[in-house]
Amino acid sequence: MGLRIDGRCHCGQITYEAEINPNSVVVCHCTDCQTFSSAPYRVSVPVRVERFTLHGEPATYRKRGGSGREIVQNFCGACGTPIYSAPVDAGAFVNLRLGAVRQRAELAPKRQGFCGSAMAWAFDLDAVEKVPEPSPPL
């Protein structure tokens, strides 16, 4: 049995509902995910296409993955929020980006991939100072 989730882009022009397996949440450390997210990694969860309902029309960007397959990045054209990626050949799954999922705090990753290109410091942030919101200016 899957977990029902929902999400939206930052501006609200794109919303969605999905049913996921919470044990499939993965951290990706590949250099493309680092670039697309402007962060040391990106977290996503695969969703069967028949269990994913999208409202709104995302903007797209095609890229060629390390496997040689073309992957379409889907994001809000107004605010830029990444929503999901999917193979050009319309596979059985999309990879939903966890950052826009309302229940994201409840979905701890179970696996990490492309660890060879990970930032070494991204694996252990315990020693980094923790500051309550809002962060002071640098």
Q: What is the pTM of this model?
A: 0.87
Whole-angstrom CA distances from 86 to 15, 31, 108, 137 are: 17, 18, 22, 38
In a domain, 124, yes or no: no
Taking the chain (138 residues) in runs of 10, the rounded mean pLDDT of each run is 93 98 95 89 95 97 85 96 90 93 96 91 86 73
Work out whether strand 15-20 and strand 3-8 pair parallel, antiparallel, or are unpaired: antiparallel
Q: Please report the pLDDT score of residue 26 as a whole number.
A: 96
Domain with 18, as residue range(s), is 3-118
- Whether 106 is in a domain gets the answer yes
User: Quick one: pLDDT at residue 135?
Assistant: 66
CATH number at residue 94: 2.170.150.70
Q: Is residue 93 part of a domain?
A: yes
Residue 68's pLDDT is what?
81
Domain count, the chain: 1
